[in-house]
Structure 1
Amino acid sequence: MLRRLALPLIFVLFILVAAAGMFRLKFDTNILSMLPGDLPEVRGLESYHQAFAKNDELVILIQSKDDETDSLEDAAQSLGERLLADGNARRARWQPMWMQSPEGLSELIAYLWLNGDPESTQALAEKLSPENSRKTLDGAIARIATAMEGEGLAMRAHDPFGFLDHPAITALTSNSSQSGAAFESADGHSHLLFIDSPKPIAGYRDADAWLAKVRQSIAAWQKTDGQGIEVGLTGEPAFSSEIGHSMERDLSGSIGITLGLIALLFWWMQRRLILLAGLIGVQVLVFAVALGVAGWIYGSLGIMAFSSFGILIGLSVDYGLIICQEAKLSGSNANSLRDASAKPVMWCAATTIVVFLALNLAGLPGMGQLGTIVATGLFAAAAIMISGYLPFVVRFGVNRRQPRGTGKWIPKRMLSYGLAGGFAIAALGVLAIHGLPGTQFDSSVMRPSNSQAMTALDRVTAAFPRWSDESMGVIIEAKSGPEMLERVAEANRRFSSAEKSGLIRAAHFPIGWWPDEASQTKNRAILAELATHRDRLMHEAGEAGFTEEGTALGNSVLSEMATLTAHNGLVFPQQESAIEITRVAMARKADGSGALLGNIDLAPTAKPAGADFPKFRALTGSGIWLSDWRLFNPAISDLVGKDVMRVLIPMFLLLVGMMIFIFRRPGDILAALVAMSLSGLLMLAVMSFAGLTWNFVNLMATPLLLGTGIDYAIHVILTIRRTGCSFKELWNGTSKALMFCGVSTVIGFGSLCFSSIEALRSLGFVSVTGISITMIVAIFLLPGWCQASPDEN
């Protein structure tokens, strides 16, 4: 008794242990997580995302409907204060940080002069020496008289001593495409407001809930102080909310209709809902094992791994349906049913598992995760189907109406050859005219069709040129201070050379921001001496015509210089407001490691995603990375091209080896390979004719199509050999089962064709097209190729 129960108990224990891994599983919706981290373009975007991206910062564009631009800054301040009062913002910024945080700015300015080039610091001290200080102040008054209205005039009026002339401060207060430092457009018709979420945003649901509250506050504000003002929302939370909400709506909205249609189709073919219930139960166990093992191995799954669910359903359900359909012919004879279905299921699972495990050779980590999950699930599916579902079908699937088809719809040998040749010639003609499908590996394919966040971003780009694609981010990483200083010097060398070659127009780096012990040592005595002249300088500034308000910043900076120079060691700003300002371009950790953010202005003729891509890639490496989505398409296209050789060749050899072991007939092996090749050729032709391109999402359909192609070919060929090439038995058993499998998969993926997101629509179209073609070739063409000639008979 115990010996008989040992194997089932071990099997149940395995399922429980494997399923326990689901509690460790987390889902990562970041596109970058499914890409190789050692790719320079991925490294640059990841580094920017980790160090500088603000997932909780919302960008609000404020524009006047009636061209009354005088009050836009006041309107931005009013809205910001309203959001703060409503508790819907932790912080709101409607003007540059140096104006909103004067205390922190004073410490930062003092630090930058202490940390900067000793020659510049010495020149500042000489300009403010007793011999030259009055001349310097007179020059400051003259510059104020000629300064233009706006931010430049405000800075001059509050800077009698020239402290803001430090190169690093100029970069902070003038322009920065990465931080959005310019708040008002050049024509004065647009103004920006930045707000931070009151609490951390863990995902798109949190972002969606926060945006709903923000919109409520904006709607109430527009009825009072904001009358006649247009407001647009963009930024990371806005895109995250739109994309996540749209995907959830598209995927869940059609699930009821899809399951209902599949259930009706199953009832029409099998006439036993209890068999459907049993199949659903098996699927639950299969998913528990697959996701549990993924939890134990990976812990976190990327976006690409999500498609493993659909692939696993599409392939594992095939096994159950083959068993159900063959049971109609076998009746209640378990041995007969096992002979008809167990071997095809076992060999299909083994071959498909090998193919999907080969995906771990790919350069895309997400593809490896997908392969492992599907392979694990198919192993569990085959084992449970043969050991559990087959006896279940024998017991509950008897006494059903026998199929009556004759198989007349399956073309004979010569006709199937003719049809295959005609289809192949037509496909090659389409590809010769339209070419192979292109690629589009960027984040734009994930945006909804009618994206309010994208519309707002387009308006921001039109009003603020620094937000446009003319510039590109540069990330400099280091593990220590000395290493960072070396890499900043190296970045200057590389991009100066690129500027001379005409690849870029200019490069901007936060020079003097990172703590430099050598510079601080040289500047400490100079600034300590300068700080002792504070009273004299303040008196002279007053005599020159500066008000107390105009000298407040200079007075505060001199005071901070005295404080900072009192320390002998390496110093860094301590005030929270000062540290917050440095985060615009610097992310420094307590251990001295961190990153700096700069940007480069591209030359008008530069083509970073085209012919100049190798030149831009050559600028990266050794902790210096470019951060721009435009570099992604050529980078991923190149990686996918390499994967074709690195993955497909070993996969093809494994596939042929498995087919030799299964079929042991060259003709059957050739027929299966030709069926898969023809299906792929026809799908490429349809994609090319329809203008579809490969992207992050629809690329996931390729393993599904490969798996179904192998599955269908093995089932058809083994059935033909078992029945002596009886098209009648093939049609009534395997063909109808495969037709149900194909149609149910088409129904599931077909619902995505109506998605609001381009990537999901393309996934639906590619999957529907590929599955339909694969099913038609396997059911209607492959049998004729395997049919023996009269001479062979």
Structure 2
Amino acid sequence: TGRPAYVAEIAAGMRRDMTGSVLFTAAIIAGLFWCAHRRWTPMLWLLLLLGAILAGTLALGGLVFGTIDVVSLGFAGILLGLAVDYGVVHYQEALASPDAIIPEIRRAIGPSIFWAAATTVSAFLVLNLGGLPGLGQLGSLVALGVGLSALVMLFVFLPPLFGDRMPRRLRQMAAGAWPPGPAAVGVPSPAAEWPAGRVKLVGALSLLLPLIGGGVWYFGLPGLDHSAGVLRPRHSPAEVALGEIRSALAQGREPWWLVLSGRTEMEVADRLAAARHLLDRAVANGWIGSYALPAAFWPRPDYQATNRATARQLAAGRESLRAAALGAGFRPKALELTDRLLEVWQRAAAADRTFWPTNALSRWILDRFVARSASGWVVVGYVFAPAQSQGAQGQQMHWSEELARQGCLLSGWDLLGDAVLARVQSRFGWVMGSMAVLVLGSLGLAFRRAGEILLSLAVLGCSAVGLLVVMRLMGWSWNLLNLMALPLMLGTGVDYSIFMQLALRRHGGDLRAAHRSVGRALLLCGGTAVAGFGSLAGSNYGGMASLGEVCAVGVGGNMLLSVYVLPVWWHWLRGTRAGSSPAPATEHPAATRPSWFYRAEIWSLGLFVGRFLPVKLSVALGCWAAAGYCALQPRRREVVVRNLLPVLNGERQAAERATRQLFAEFARKVGDLWRYESGRAVERQPADWSGWEIFTAAQARGRGVLLVTPHLGNWEIGGLLLAQRGVNLLALTQAEPERRLTALRLNSRARWGVETLVVGEDAFAFVEIIKRLQAGATVALLVDRPAPPTAVTVELFGRPFLGSIAAAELARATGCAVVPVYVVRRPAGYSAHVLPEVPYDRAALGNRARRIRLTQEILRAFEPVIRQHATQWYHFVPIWPPAVPPAP
């Protein structure tokens, strides 16, 4: 036994607890996933991502905390059990919507994952208010991991598994076969009949719940364990060996430690005297059995000052003492001890400070109870409890407080439990109150309906009743660690009700559809969460084991109620409320299918040729190639004709003439673009700049300028024209069909001082854009060929049209100026035009309908110029969504 043995045991226990919980939870996750889906690839990919999330959390935890303590090591199993939830729900939604592409699935399930992760992160962060540093560190680590896992599962998990969906959608749209009817995600199916058996069973259970709750209250709630045993290891050979040694020495119970401190030796001596008086009274009253204080060993400066004269006198008479002893027949050898004592007394008499013995034996003895700190001295004594201490428990706090007022602190395992529990209880109200506010806030933002918020709270209340029943049946009690299971149940358990109710909304109350898309996933998620918390049951520390057991029961009950009981309650609530079913979304994502010729090799060849070929020759060759392509590609030509028909009021012949001219204009545009991107100066200088004062006025406000433009004219040249006027431009673009082509075009723009940010389908790229706009930057955005996540249906030339809501989202986030611009080719050169700024009420943009309306206003501002320059409005893929036939 001893410190080395304890350190070795603790290190081994930490390693065993962490690896055991991780392996157990991972095995349960793999087994449940395999039973549910029978697919190797997603299971292995999921386990790989979970390992990466765990490693990333450990790395972040190392940066934040430096070291991880014993209690917080249980985070690994908990994190795995919670992190897998978001991936499983996302994956099940993808399986339930086989025709949906990943951005649609993400848009459908993303809000549920976001609010669930927010409540879980909040729950674990609130543990920092509980007064236990180790448990607070555990909460912080799990919160870090849950936030990281939500991002990974939303944006990394699905793309490798369903990479064929976007190409299939593009083929369907090119063939005019999409959408085939109601959209795959977001449009509810016709509501099916609800199972009568389940409704009756849930009704009976709902009636029994008050009786069950009353029975728990009548027979008594689980007790409260005041001891500190939950903080000690359950199996410790070193502890056993120490107990045997204590028994052999007849020491009985482990003594309490009495710690005194003082700035000077005299202050410590006074406190020793005061403590001795209080301890004598405690012994007389039977509160303690005995005590041991080092008062006899402690140097007293006042006594030493009195004894210095005597010591000096004795040291001065050393020779006379020696002569007398030798005269009495003593040998010189017998006087060595006397000589040493007189030497020490002589040094002590000459010292002006408190004298401390310095020999090896004295140092060894003093090290047992004395320590020197930066602020003074620390002394320890021992207090032994009486043989029968039950009646003295009520007085311990009283006289220990008296000792504390004298600067003496009483500590020990027997006292630690009450002290720590009192600290936890004093903060418990703040913890639960903070958690309740966070949960109510998350539910309010997620549902915005009082009825659904109350349903989630009812599920939490019923799961709490079930937990109390299980605790009574199993003989469990509350302790200073598992009390923190209550806020964890609030934060993690509410996730299931959020997922289920939002799924019921999406599917218009169709229980079978909701169960197919989310319910099965929640059963798997609940199983993994129970496994994650349950893995703590094998911990060597009783408190962590009890925390895991209580959380596993509470979360498991919450999951079962959310999957099987909550939908029936929601159905009853929906039946008593009119108009509860949400309207299906009407927006459909746009798709692009670039020409085979738009690839890195051909573009590189064009840049090479454009650097040296004369302008007139390149224009002639380009027009000839465009005419040939137009004649040899009837399908592509027909797409352009159909795109131009609404612009030209449906006149077919005018659209066909404009199409042929458009191909020629596009050839001239590409030739100029190749010369521009190759670094060669573009000879066509702008003939005029109209509306420049509008841009400068918007820029002067310092809130950022968002330049919006359609695929009209040569918008790429606009960056060069702005650079010539000293404006640094950030151009937003989607990823090109090839990664190499994307890099090629980015480098070409950078040559002229135009910075490019590729956004594509990554919504988080907009964080950087928001920062730039808030700093006053100028950003350019195309609005008439949006990425699927930003596509909304507006009206253009009297037809439904897919426009980008990104400009409205950025306006809401930053309050920037939204300025329409366009650059078109005229015979004399390029002409740049700045249209009047689009006004908007930023406060009103919190409503999505108002953002769609702002998108409508932006595109409507371009209708006259697109009609005027229809032959330079370059769209070679279908841009008008097919009409969706009405549901029968």
TM (norm. structure 2) is 0.55
1:372 equivalent among 140, 147, 161: 140
CA distance in 2, matches of 1:713, 1:428: 25
Greater shift in the superposed pair: 490-499 or 317-326 = 490-499
Tell me the amino acid that sits aligned with residue 246 of structure 2. T
Distance 1:255 1:391, change over 3 A: closer
The alpha carbon displacement at 1:711 in A equals: 1.1
Equivalent residues of 2:288, 2:386 under 8 A apart: yes
1:362 equivalent among 93, 106, 130: 130
CA distance in 1, matches of 2:21, 2:469: 29
2:215 is matched with which residue?
Answer: 429
Query: Are residues 1:308 and 2:75 paired?
Result: yes
Distance 1:421 1:463, change over 3 A: farther
Measured against aligned partners, the alpha-carbon deviations of 1:97-119 in whole angstroms (never above 9, x if no partner) come to xxxxxxxxxxxxxxxxxxxxxxx
The alpha carbon displacement at 1:368 in A equals: 3.1
Measured against aligned partners, the alpha-carbon deviations of 1:602-626 in whole angstroms (never above 9, x if no partner) come to 4555449842243144134364211
Query: Are residues 1:597 and 2:380 paired?
Result: yes
Could you tell me the percent identity over the aligned residues? Answer: 30
Equivalent residues of 2:253, 2:385 under 8 A apart: no
2:372 is matched with which residue?
Answer: 588
Equivalent residues of 1:608, 1:630 under 8 A apart: no
Measured against aligned partners, the alpha-carbon deviations of 1:677-709 in whole angstroms (never above 9, x if no partner) come to 221221122123212234466556555433331
The residue matched to 1:391 in structure 2 has which SS?
coil
Tell me the amino acid that sits aligned with residue 75 of structure 2. S
Query: Are residues 1:394 and 2:170 paired?
Result: no
Distance 1:370 1:264, change over 3 A: closer
The alpha carbon displacement at 1:630 in A equals: 0.8
Greater shift in the superposed pair: 431-440 or 737-746 = 431-440
Equivalent runs, 1:314-463 vs 2, <5 Å: 314-331=81-98, 332-395=100-163, 412-423=198-209, 425-426=211-212, 428-430=214-216, 432-439=218-225, 441-443=227-229, 446-449=232-235, 451-463=236-248
Measured against aligned partners, the alpha-carbon deviations of 1:67-122 in whole angstroms (never above 9, x if no partner) come to xxxxxxxxxxxxxxxxxxxxxxxxxxxxxxxxxxxxxxxxxxxxxxxxxxxxxxxx
Equivalent residues of 2:21, 2:77 under 8 A apart: no
Tell me the amino acid that sits aligned with residue 301 of structure 1. I
Equivalent residues of 1:610, 1:634 under 8 A apart: no
The alpha carbon displacement at 1:515 in A equals: 4.8
The alpha carbon displacement at 1:513 in A equals: 4.2
2:29 equivalent among 262, 266, 271: 262
The alpha carbon displacement at 1:389 in A equals: 2.8
CA distance in 1, matches of 2:36, 2:322: 93
Equivalent runs, 1:748-759 vs 2, <5 Å: 748-751=532-535, 753=537, 758-759=542-543
RMSD after superposition: 3.9
CA distance in 2, matches of 1:310, 1:455: 29
CA distance in 2, matches of 1:531, 1:740: 87
CA distance in 2, matches of 1:558, 1:530: 7
Tell me the amino acid that sits aligned with residue 308 of structure 1. F
The alpha carbon displacement at 1:579 in A equals: 1.6
The alpha carbon displacement at 1:526 in A equals: 1.4
Equivalent residues of 1:356, 1:371 under 8 A apart: yes
1:673 is matched with which residue?
Answer: 457
Equivalent runs, 1:186-197 vs 2, <5 Å: none
Measured against aligned partners, the alpha-carbon deviations of 1:443-480 in whole angstroms (never above 9, x if no partner) come to 4663344x4434433333333233534x4220002344
1:770 is matched with which residue?
Answer: 554
The residue matched to 1:475 in structure 2 has which SS?
strand
The alpha carbon displacement at 1:739 in A equals: 1.0
Tell me the amino acid that sits aligned with residue 376 of structure 2. S
Distance 1:355 1:468, change over 3 A: closer
CA distance in 2, matches of 1:368, 1:510: 38
Equivalent residues of 2:128, 2:137 under 8 A apart: yes
Equivalent residues of 1:304, 1:697 under 8 A apart: no
CA distance in 2, matches of 1:774, 1:550: 85
Tell me the amino acid that sits aligned with residue 377 of structure 1. G
The alpha carbon displacement at 1:263 in A equals: 1.8
CA distance in 2, matches of 1:601, 1:548: 48
Equivalent residues of 1:613, 1:634 under 8 A apart: no
CA distance in 2, matches of 1:610, 1:600: 14
Tell me the amino acid that sits aligned with residue 557 of structure 2. I
CA distance in 2, matches of 1:512, 1:779: 71
Tell me the amino acid that sits aligned with residue 205 of structure 2. L
The residue matched to 1:772 in structure 2 has which SS?
helix
1:654 is matched with which residue?
Answer: 438
Greater shift in the superposed pair: 707-716 or 633-642 = 633-642
CA distance in 2, matches of 1:549, 1:690: 76
Distance 1:280 1:704, change over 3 A: farther
Equivalent residues of 1:481, 1:592 under 8 A apart: no
Distance 1:547 1:609, change over 3 A: farther
CA distance in 2, matches of 1:553, 1:530: 14
Measured against aligned partners, the alpha-carbon deviations of 1:232-265 in whole angstroms (never above 9, x if no partner) come to xx33433444454345445535754553442233
Distance 1:509 1:409, change over 3 A: farther
Distance 1:365 1:550, change over 3 A: farther
Structure 1 runs of 4+ aligned residues shifted over 6 Å read 396-399, 406-411, 533-555
The residue matched to 1:626 in structure 2 has which SS?
strand
Equivalent residues of 1:439, 1:695 under 8 A apart: yes
Greater shift in the superposed pair: 710-719 or 350-359 = 350-359
TM (norm. structure 1) is 0.62
1:630 equivalent among 409, 414, 417: 414
CA distance in 2, matches of 1:247, 1:540: 69
The residue matched to 1:621 in structure 2 has which SS?
helix
Distance 1:638 1:751, change over 3 A: closer
Equivalent residues of 1:472, 1:600 under 8 A apart: yes
1:24 is matched with which residue?
Answer: none
The alpha carbon displacement at 1:533 in A equals: 6.2
CA distance in 1, matches of 2:250, 2:536: 37
Equivalent runs, 1:493-504 vs 2, <5 Å: 493-499=277-283, 501-504=285-288
The alpha carbon displacement at 1:726 in A equals: 1.4
Distance 1:264 1:289, change over 3 A: closer
Equivalent residues of 1:753, 1:762 under 8 A apart: yes
Measured against aligned partners, the alpha-carbon deviations of 1:525-569 in whole angstroms (never above 9, x if no partner) come to 212334456788899999999999999867654453334334344
Equivalent residues of 1:239, 1:447 under 8 A apart: no
The residue matched to 1:468 in structure 2 has which SS?
coil
The residue matched to 1:725 in structure 2 has which SS?
coil
Tell me the amino acid that sits aligned with residue 706 of structure 1. L
5+ long unaligned stretches in structure 2: 169-191, 579-888
1:528 is matched with which residue?
Answer: 312
Equivalent runs, 1:724-739 vs 2, <5 Å: 724-739=508-523
Tell me the amino acid that sits aligned with residue 224 of structure 2. G
Distance 1:544 1:384, change over 3 A: farther
Tell me the amino acid that sits aligned with residue 456 of structure 1. A
CA distance in 2, matches of 1:421, 1:491: 61
The alpha carbon displacement at 1:330 in A equals: 1.6
CA distance in 2, matches of 1:539, 1:784: 108
The alpha carbon displacement at 1:731 in A equals: 1.8
Tell me the amino acid that sits aligned with residue 154 of structure 2. I
Equivalent residues of 1:258, 1:751 under 8 A apart: yes
1:783 is matched with which residue?
Answer: 567
CA distance in 2, matches of 1:432, 1:536: 90
Equivalent residues of 1:510, 1:585 under 8 A apart: yes
